Amino acid sequence: MDELKGLVFTITHGSFVDGHGIRTTVFLKGCPLRCLWCCNPESQQVCPEIKYTQSECNGCGKCYNMCPVSAIGQSGGKAVIDRELCDGCGLCADVCYRGALARFAEWRTVDEVFENVYKDNNFYINSNGGVTIGGGEPTLQTGFSRALLDKLHGNGVHVAFDTCGYTESEEAFDLLKDADLLLYDLKGLDPEKHKENTGVDNRIIVENLKKLDGLGKEIIIRLPLIPGFTDDEQDIAAEIELIKSLKSVLRVDIIPYHDFARNKYEQLGRKYPFDMDLVHMTPAEDIRDRFIGAGIAAQIGG
């Protein structure tokens, strides 16, 4: 099982926002949702993708002949990628000494990831921290996540899962059940709006949340606050009532909208979904205070 590979798009050391204590967060590629406001668009596909930063390209042309599917051309002295043809093999990135072309993810074995994160074990011990497995959606790479979870647990490491909760797979649900802590996303409770905003109905998400709560799992609810999408008065009221009915929720983290991912969309050859400035449109403090007023521990950020 240690040779099992997962598609990892980044590993972040020294995080204070992904669970208790100091944590290392492993971001796995692939997600069943397509949230309009996704801040990690490189996490959505369960396949390698190429990051292209056009401003770093000097038009040397080394990548043109290297591409086995002829997905790279030239325009205005810069490389141009045909995303329909590109299979993400990464050979172009191997010859791009400027770093204009790079992989957005790499296949890594369980051992490789474990060795990378376990070197922080002293920080976990001293801060009551651990490893958080996120994405994307970590339950989508079920086999890899299971093997990594078991190896971390076998070495005494606390493991959190950052999840959207959208799974009907017994194996995937067991992953959530066996984690020490769940960072559980709620992106609105109106089923039709949820499908418009994320591409999926929220019935499974809410059902899984209630089941996990019934098992006594430690849960931190994460609410992305997206003006015009998730800040509706009725949605907030419904979320308060749902969370009040649960027994295992430690607190609610309200995650304000930001546009830090704008350059990632450009690097993927995709249009950023929002033209207007949404950053300052909804005061997160007001929403936080509503949860606190209802007797629910809440904070802004992770």
Q: Return the pLDDT at 217.
A: 96
Instruction: Give residue-wise pLDDT tens across range 101-133.
Output: 999 999 999 999 999 999 999 999 999 999 999
Q: Rounded to two decimals, what is the model's pTM?
A: 0.92
Q: Are residues 210 and 268 in the same domain?
A: yes
Q: Are residues 15 and 95 in the same domain?
A: no
Structure-token match 């027994």, residue found = 247
Q: Are residues 41 and 54 in the same domain?
A: no
- The DSSP bridge partners found for residue 25 are 12, 132
Residue type, position 118, single letter: Y
Rounded distance, CA 282 to CA 226, Å? 8
DSSP code for 297: -
Average pLDDT over every residue of 10-30:
96
Average pLDDT, the chain: 94
Q: Are residues 242 and 293 in the same domain?
A: yes
Whole domain around residue 27: which residue ranges? 5-46+106-300
Q: Return the pLDDT at 261.
A: 86
**Structural domains in the chain (count):** 2
Say if residues 7 and 145 touch (Cβ distance below 8 Å).
no
| Per-residue tokens: 212 | 């996990």
Q: Are residues 97 and 110 in the same domain?
A: no
Least confident of 120-124, 222-226, 279-283: 279-283
Domain boundary, last residue among 103, 124, 147:
103
Does the pLDDT at position 1 exceed 60?
Answer: no
Does the pLDDT at position 283 exceed 90?
Answer: no
Residue 21 half-sphere exposure toward CB, CA atoms < 13 A: 20
Q: Return the pLDDT at 280.
A: 61
Say if residues 255 and 224 touch (Cβ distance below 8 Å).
yes
Q: Are residues 76 and 124 in the same domain?
A: no
Scanning the chain, the segments in alpha helix (DSSP H) are 62-66, 91-95, 110-118, 121-127, 142-154, 170-178, 191-198, 203-214, 233-244, 262-267, 284-293
- The DSSP bridge partners found for residue 184 are 163, 221
Instruction: Give residue-wise pLDDT tens across range 53-98.
Output: 999 999 999 999 899 999 999 999 999 999 999 999 999 999 999 9
**Alpha-carbon dihedral 82, 86, 89, 91, rounded to 10 degrees:** -30
SS3 of 159, please?
Answer: strand
Element (H, E) at 160: strand 159-163
Instruction: Give residue-wise pLDDT tens across range 170-219.
Output: 999 999 999 999 999 999 999 999 999 999 999 999 999 999 999 999 99
CATH assignment of the domain containing 41? 3.20.20.70
Q: Return the pLDDT at 281.
A: 66
Q: Are residues 141 and 191 in the same domain?
A: yes
Does the pLDDT at position 157 exceed 70?
Answer: yes
Q: Are residues 68 and 144 in the same domain?
A: no
Q: Return the pLDDT at 144.
A: 97
Residue of 141, 139, 72, 68 lying closest to 101 (CA atoms): 72
Q: Return the pLDDT at 194.
A: 96
| Per-residue tokens: 201 | 């109905």
Residue of 96, 99, 113 lying closest to 26 (CA atoms): 113
User: How many angstroms from the chain centroid is the CA of residue 97?
Assistant: 29
Q: Tell me the percentage of the chain whose pLDDT exceeds 70.
A: 97
